[in-house]
Amino acid sequence: MSSVPASAFLALALILFCIGLYGALTKKNTVIVLISIELMLNAANINLVTFSKYGLNPNIDGQVFALFAMAVAAAEAAVGLAILMALYRNKRTVNIDEMDSMKN
Amino acid sequence: MTLTGEFFAFMALALVAIIGGVLLLNLNKVVHMVVALIFTFVSIAGIYVLLSAEFIAAVQVLIYSGAITIIMLFAIMLTKPYDDESSESKGGRLRNVLLFLGVVGFAFAVYIGIYNFPIDQTPSDLHVNNTLEIGKALYSRFIIPFELVSVLLLAALVGAIILAKREDKEADKE
Amino acid sequence: MENAWLIPLFPLLSFLILLLIGKRLKEASAYVGILFTLASLVFSILVLFERFSEPTFLKKFDWLTIGDLHLTAGFEVNQLNALMLFIVSLVSFLVHTYSKGYMHGDERMPVFYAYLGLFTFAMLGLVISPNLLQTYIFWELVGVGSFLLIGFYFYKEEAKAAAKKAFIMTRIGDVGLLIGMILLFWQTKSFEYSEIFQAVEAGAVSNTMLTLTAILIFIGAVGKSGQFPLHTWLPDAMEGPTPVSALIHAATMVAAGVYLVAALFPLFTASPTALLTVATVGAVTAIFAASIGLVQTDIKRVLAYSTVSQLGYMMLALGSAGYVAGVFHLMTHAFFKALLFLAAGSVIHAVHTQNIEEMGGLWKKLKLTGPLFLIGTLAISGVPGLSGFFSKDEILVAAWEGGHPVLFLFALIAAFMTAFYMFRLFFMVFTGESRGQQKNVHESPSVMTMPMVVLGVLAVIAGYVNTPWFGSFLGDWLVDGNEALGHGHIEGPIWIMIAATVVSLAGIYLAWLIYGKRSIARDWLSGQGGMLYTVLYNKYYIDEFYQLTVIAFTKGFSYFLRFIDTFIVEGIVKGVSGIVQGLGAMGSKMQTGRAQTYGTVAFVSLAVLAVIFALTGGYLR
């Protein structure tokens, strides 16, 4: 029996997700944007683990999913940073606003 | 809700996590931001412990607080840090206000969903032999995804190396 | 007779063939046109002879069905239709043949024959239509054919203007016809001639409405037949090739107005007011156009005004309840006026001018055209023994018996004028000394003279089908089985015939005195009434009057509309396009290429949806 309700965990995950989202969409430094995305993934993981314990059908599967998500997040971070390095070599900047070659 | 040790632990961890996130948004130096985020990641590991997921907590500390943060720091150091967060255009400010309102609205909407979500807190025994259970699951029911993840990680490894590698032409040029 | 529907299709076929391969056929395209119209002519003659012994043939099928309403299409062969078929296809065939010579060497000959085919198709279709709607369709098609043929020399400014004028002026009349038609349909629930007549006879239409519709339809006829005050297009239409003038603006299309009134004759007889209107307009036109014809110097214009005048005669006859007289004159006029036009074309072909002041002394040079022209002139002047005499006599009798002494007087004066100006024309062109500089004037080729000979023979003998002396065969046949059309022959006092003869002979004598013997100076008329002469020469300033009133008003109104268009309509349009453009510019500005902006927009939109969903609970609640 737990004294902390499941909704408290979910609310914490929500707050962290919102922080990550806001950071991902406002920060100018591409590295920070990537970190913010990691934060959002973490918030999602909290949800997975919370439901694994307090869901309608408590199960270990939620934790396994969280593990897979972490593996994918790690891979994503590695590739994202590699792309960042390649971009930086070409453009000499990590300011995300200057990476607007999508326009033309 | 009773004032148990679990409750205090949750409050403390949640507070640290949120403060870490807020600092991420408000600090000026990039390195500081990353360091602030380490607190958040570690707190989240604590939260996992509260949720009877010791193995996940360990992995969280290893991967996020360790590996990813270190890569980020390397990336920051390898690039010329772009610290000037204040030089925003007028449209950028408007955009941020709009986004802030959007985020608050989104949080509100989801919170209503959370508030109304019917969760009956049935006791579970996930904390018993947690790592053993995860291992069993991974190597029985989730064996194929597990192997696929290993392939994904390998592909990411190769891709990252190729992307980040200096091309020969460029090397000649410099 | 059941195959009468084929008659209009032959010229249509000719039109289509020439349209498709005319360019390759070149001059040979004439044979295509001639052959197909010959086929039409043969069928028409067969139908006409069949009609003498058989009753009216009517065939129709449902064309459109709207609720309980059935619009039909089909064809009808009654006496009038059969006669018109014969006249139209005959004149068309002769004109086709004649054009072979007249248009010789013209590069656009296939086009010319294609237009002729189209026109002939429309005209033949018009005269066998059994209902008003079909009539109206062909009526407009005829107008198109006329427009194309008048504007055939489209590189000439005058021809272009004349074509436009003809189209617009007749259109004014057509609006009247359309409104009348719709009113009639509203009242009788049918476009069928027979059903309309039944409804009129049964008194289903109020008197006022009857008069209104009759007069509106008559306005259509006024436009097409060049009656006063919509006559000004007809003389201008002489800018077209001369065979066209003979076919369209003498024998067939302008007669369509008369035909329409004749076809709807029971409708007109039901309204005395409408009849009086028709008669008055006809009489006024007759004398009015004849007076203009007195002083014109262009050979084709003289003939054009004479056409207008003769059409006025026909209207007068119809308006005086002289159905037979009107149709009879329509037939004889078609023959002798076509003859006159073709002869005039032959003259123009020989001397290359249309101004009669530059002609003269052609009698000896044009051995065949001269006598034929004389026959036409005698016929139109009403000299006893020729066709024009009999039909004109019928009209005068009808006018007298119709109880319009004033209109009778008008007709008599117009007859005098007709004789005078026609012989003025004849003497100026064919007698005296040559006033032009034309050398080697020669007779036209036989392909041109043969049609003239045929028409000349008809111009002499056509009158004998309906005479007070040998029986009124045509008249009896025309009104057979239809009492609403009046009597086959109207008995009139003998003095009318004598008066008509005397009047026309007097006109000829006066013309001879002035232009033949020259015992009276030529400028006697213009000297005596200088102002009158000027007024006549300028055609009563009708064109100028229109220019100053109707056209000026229309122009002003158009400017006003253009003002609205430029500043209000276009303003709105520009405003709308400006708004759209502005939105587009804003949208394109948003395409900054910055991923964060895109993400923000997408996310904020999602958040708005989420909030709305959370607050309302979606559709499910």
Name chain B's partners: 3 or more CB pairs within 8 A: A, C
Q: Where are the alpha helices (DSSP H) in C320-385?
A: 323-351, 369-381
Residue C417's region, left for phi above 0, alpha for psi from -120 to 50, else beta, is alpha
Chain centroid to Cα C402, Å, comes to: 26
Whether C604 sits inside 8 A of B98 (CB atoms) is: yes
Lowest-confidence region among B152-156, C163-167, C575-579: C163-167
| Average confidence score pLDDT of chain B | 82
Rounded CA gap, C611 and A68, in Å? 31
Q: What percent of chain B has pLDDT over 70?
A: 80
Q: A102, C593: Cβ pair inside 8 Å?
A: yes
Distance CA B81, CA A93 (A): 8
Residues linked to residue C467 through DSSP beta bridges, in sequence order: C471
Residue C103 CA to residue C448 CA, distance in Å, equals 10
> Strand, helix or coil at C600?
helix
Greater model confidence, B20 or C398: B20
Cα C586 from Cα C165, distance rounded (Å): 52
pLDDT value of position C8: 84
pLDDT for C11 = 85
Instruction: List CB contacts of C577: < 8 A, sequence separation 6 or more.
Output: none
Percent of chain C with pLDDT over 70: 90
Residue in chain B closest to C600 (alpha carbons) equals B99
Smallest Cβ–Cβ distance between A54 and the set B6, B67, B121 belongs to B121
Cα distances from C596 to residues A86, B79, B98, B101, C18, in angstroms, run 20, 21, 13, 16, 69
Mutate to test the interface with A, among B11, B24, B77, B151 (most CBs of A within 10 A): B24
Q: How far apart are CA A73 and CA A81, in angstroms?
A: 12
Cα–Cα distance between C589 and A90 in angstroms, integer?
A: 26
For C322, phi then psi, to 5°, come to -95, 70
- Which backbone phi and psi does C555 adopt, to 5 degrees? -60, -45
CB atoms within 10 A of CB A9: 24
pLDDT confidence bin for A15, thresholds 50/70/90: very high
Copy the structure tokens of residue C496.
Answer: 């009318």
pLDDT above 90: residue C108: no
Supply the DSSP symbol for C104: T
Report CB contact under 8 Å: A49, B56. Answer: yes
d(CA C317, CA C486): 12
Q: Which of residues 574-613 of C touch B (CB under 8 A)?
A: 596-597, 600, 603-604, 606-608, 610-611, 613
**Which of B133, B115, B118 has its CA nearest to residue B52?**
B133
Q: Does residue A96 sit at the C interface (CB-CB below 8 Å)?
A: yes
pLDDT value for C579:
92
pLDDT in tens, C473-514: 777 777 666 666 666 566 667 777 788 888 888 888 888 887
The CA distance from C128 to C312, in Å, is 24
C69: left (phi over 0), alpha (psi -120 to 50) or beta: beta
Which residue in chain B is spatially nearest to C598 when comparing CA positions?
Answer: B95
Please give the pLDDT value at position C67: 74
Q: Do C593 and A24 touch (CB under 8 A)?
A: no
CA atoms within 13 A on the CB side of C399: 30
Which residue among A26, A33, A103 places its CB closest to the CB of C593?
Answer: A103
The separation between CA B34 and the C-alpha centre of its own chain, rounded to angstroms, equals: 11
Nearest CB to A42: which of B44, B99, B122? Answer: B44
Residue C502 has, within 13 A of its CA and on its CB side, a CA count of 6
The residue ranking higher by pLDDT, A98 or A17, is A17
CATH architecture of A29-98: Orthogonal Bundle (1.10)
A38: CB partners within 8 A, 6+ apart: A20, A73, A77, B37, B64, B68
Q: What does the alpha-carbon distance between residue C579 and residue C567 come to, in Å, rounded to a whole number?
A: 17
Q: Among C366, C369, C363, C234, which residue's Cα sits nearest to residue C305?
A: C234
Query: What are the residue ranges spanned by the domains of chain A?
Result: 29-98
Q: What whole-number distance in Å separates Cα of residue C233 and Cα of residue C248?
A: 13
Of C80, C504, C138, the closest CA to residue C318 belongs to C80
A22 touches B: beta carbon within 8 Å:
yes
Question: Which chain C residues are within 8 Å of A96, Cβ to Cβ?
Answer: 594-596
Output the pLDDT for position A103: 62
Cα–Cα distance measured from residue C479 to residue B113, given in angstroms and rounded to the nearest whole number: 95
CB contact under 8 Å between C604 and B101, yes or no, is yes
Residue C256 to residue C462: CA distance in whole angstroms: 20
Instruction: Please provide the average confidence, as pLDDT, over all residues in chain C.
Output: 80
- Is the pLDDT assigned to residue B151 strictly greater than 90? yes
CA distances from C126 to C138, C141, C243, C443 (A): 5, 9, 21, 36
Give which of C332, C165, C344 is closest to C241, Cα–Cα. C344
If one counts every other C-beta atom within 10 angstroms of the C-beta of residue C545, the result is: 14
Query: pTM for the complete prediction?
Result: 0.64
* Residues in contact with C569: Cβ distance below 8 Å, sequence separation at least 6, in sequence order: none
Q: Does the pLDDT value for residue C539 go beyond 70?
A: no
Banded pLDDT at A1 (limits 50, 70, 90): very low
The residue with greater pLDDT, B169 or B131, is B131
Structure tokens at C298: 């262009």
Q: Picking from B61-70, C170-179, C191-200, which range would have the lowest pLDDT averaged per residue? A: C191-200
Q: Are C285 and C305 in contact (CB under 8 A)?
A: no
pLDDT tier at B91, thresholds 50, 70, 90: low
Nearest chain A alpha carbon to C594: A100
Count interface pairs A-B at CB distance under 8 A.
Answer: 235
Per-window interface: A 54-73 vs B, CB < 8 A: 54-56, 58, 60-61, 63-64, 66-68, 70-73
Three-state SS annotation for chain B: CCCCHHHHHHHHHHHHHHHHHHHHHHCCCHHHHHHHHHHHHHHHHHHHHHCCCHHHHHHHHHHHHHHHHHHHHHHHHHCCCCCCCCCCCHHHHHHHHHHHHHHHHHHHHHHHHHHCCCCCCCCCCCCCCHHHHHHHHHHCCCHHHHHHHHHHHHHHHHHHHHHHCCCHHHHHHC
Q: Does A9 touch chain B (CB under 8 A)?
A: yes
pLDDT of residue B42: 92
When pLDDT is cut at 50, 70 and 90, the band that residue B45 belongs to is very high
H/E/C letters for each residue in A78-95? HHHHHHHHHHHHHHCCCE
pLDDT at res. B43: 92
Whether chain A has a CB inside 8 Å of the CB on B116: the answer is no
**Cβ C264 vs Cβ C193: under 8 Å:** yes
Rg (CA), chain A: 17
Fill in the amino acid letter for C508. I
Other C-beta atoms within 10 Å of C273: how many?
Answer: 15
Q: Determine whether the interchain pair A25/C600 forms a contact, defined as Cβ–Cβ distance below 8 Å.
A: yes
- Interface probe for A, chosen from C588, C589, C596 (most Cβ of A below 10 Å), is C596
| Site of tokens 């008194």 | C203
Instruction: Confirm or reject contact between B84 and chain A (CB < 8 A).
Output: yes
Q: Which of residues 41-70 of B touch A (CB under 8 A)?
A: 41, 44, 47-48, 50-53, 55-56, 59-60, 63-64, 67-68
Q: Within its chain, how far is the Cα of C532 from the centroid?
A: 30
- Asked whether residue C524 carries a pLDDT value surpassing 60, the answer given is no
* pLDDT surpassing 80 at residue C141: yes
Mean pLDDT score, C125-142 = 86
User: Which residues of chain B does A31 touch, with a Cβ-Cβ cutoff of 8 Å?
Assistant: 30, 34, 72, 75-76, 79
Query: How confident is residue B149, by pLDDT bands cut at 50, 70 and 90?
Result: very high
CB spacing of B109 vs C608 below 8 angstroms? no
Q: Give the CA distances from residue A8 to residues A49, B16, B119, in Å, rounded to whole numbers and listed in that order.
A: 13, 15, 12
Other CB atoms closer than 10 Å to residue C345's CB: what's the count? 27
User: Comparing B78 with C621, which gets the higher pLDDT?
Assistant: B78
For C129, residues 6+ apart whose C-beta sits below 8 A from its C-beta are C75, C76, C135, C137, C138
Residues C419-439 as b or e (16 or more Cβ within 10 Å = b): bbbbbbbbbbbbbbeeebeee
- Three-state secondary structure call for residue C75: strand
Instruction: Kindly tell me the sign of the dihedral angle through the C-alpha atoms of C248, C254, C258, C263.
Output: positive
Structure tokens at C302: 């003289």
Q: From residue C217, give the alpha-carbon distance in Å to each of A72, B2, C262, C311.
A: 88, 102, 12, 16
| Cis bond upstream, residue C384 (ω within 30) | no
Nearest CA-CA partner of C304 in C357, C274, C252, C341: C341
For residues C255 and C330, the answer to whether their CB atoms sit within 8 Å is: yes
